[in-house]
Amino acid sequence: MIHSVTSLAMAKSKRHTQSVGPETARKTSNTPASLSSGSRSALSLLMLSLAGAGLILTAYLTYTASFEVHPAFCSEGSGCDIVQSSRWATFLGIPMALWGFLTYVVIAVLAWSGRGKPGSGSALIYVAMSGFAVSAYLTIVSVMEIEATCPYCLTSFAIITIILGLTLIRRPPNWAKSLQEAAVIGLLIVGGLHLHYGGWFDPAAGPEDPQLQALAIHLKEAGATFYGAYWCPRCQEQKSTFLSSAKRLPYVECSSGGRGSALTAPCFKADIKTYPTWIIGEQRLTGLKTPQELARASGFTWRE
């Protein structure tokens, strides 16, 4: 009896498969259940909310980096301060937070334009994966290389990770292929960043030279002051002579609002008339100076 029922069921199943056709059967078995329009809209709104949070976070970090102020709950010398002042905090002279802000802008635009649409989401995979790869790389650097972490950076990493996960949940057409291609692009971006911060393309972005680092620290501890203006080419050249240790120089900005504007108070008090100007003890040095000249003027032992 059981054998007869089983045979009958198998026969019905075979007739059903033949009626729908082998191609239809393969599609049914391989195609994931598609999300409803309401579910897609809800995921898009959630991604928009997360992108909005990322925009606020990265905009705030861009502001603090641009005006050289400490973020809230990020005291001087803390892990957050160390990460934010490291050479990994900028790329091509632009705060890394601003690159993150632009990434969240693109994510927000794509999430808004694709809300509720069944065939959208592939472009989001590429952008979210690229952002995730860069954020993951910087997080690994902060833990392994800098040996410090920044809560703001970790929060941004969590946001972009969730956005990537939500993008994959939507499963747009050919999402698996898009994910593979996006992963390759992400690895290429990270590889380029790693070479950049290794000093392959720009020595100023690479590791600090021990002697230049020691000289910059010595100048600051000796009470030396480097007066300049952000629009002054010679001042930028002076900074570039110290490569990635330039941020350690005792620099004072003299331009209050561009070329021809009034001097800032410290520069007015020091009677600065030309850029760059170094005041080291009783000495006043004007014009571009080599590290060797600054070493001699400050009593630093320079090894040739």
Find where tokens 């990770």 sit: 161
115 with 167: CB under 8 angstroms?
no
Q: Per CATH, which fold does 210-298 belong to?
A: Glutaredoxin (3.40.30)
40 with 170: CB under 8 angstroms?
yes
Q: What are the backbone angles phi and psi of residue 255, rounded to the nearest 5°?
A: -90, 120
Q: What is the pLDDT of residue 1?
A: 40
Find where tokens 């026969």 sit: 11
For the segment 256-302, what is each residue's pLDDT rounded down to a tens digit? Answer: 787 888 999 999 999 999 999 999 999 999 999 999 999 999 999 99
Measured CA to CA, the distance from residue 74 to residue 148 in angstroms comes to 12
In terms of Cα–Cα distance, which of 179, 164, 186 is closest to 107? 164
Measured CA to CA, the distance from residue 172 to residue 122 in angstroms comes to 6
pLDDT confidence band for 7 (50 / 70 / 90): very low
Find where tokens 């480097």 sit: 226
Q: What is the pLDDT of residue 198?
A: 92
Q: Which residue has the higher pLDDT, 274 or 115?
A: 274
Q: What is the mean pLDDT of the chain?
A: 86
For the segment 147-163, what is each residue's pLDDT rounded down to a tens digit? Answer: 999 999 999 999 999 99
Measured CA to CA, the distance from residue 123 to residue 128 in angstroms comes to 9
Q: What is the pLDDT of residue 293?
A: 96
276 with 234: CB under 8 angstroms?
yes
Answer yes or no: is pLDDT of 21 > 60.
no
Q: What is the pLDDT of residue 25?
A: 38
pTM for the complete prediction? 0.71
Please name the CATH architecture into which domain 37-203 falls.
Up-down Bundle (1.20)
Q: What is the pLDDT of residue 117?
A: 62
172 with 121: CB under 8 angstroms?
yes
Q: What are the backbone angles phi and psi of residue 296, rounded to the nearest 5°?
A: -65, -40
Beta bridge partners of 91: 94
Domains of the chain: which residue ranges?
37-203, 210-298
Answer yes or no: is pLDDT of 85 > 60.
yes
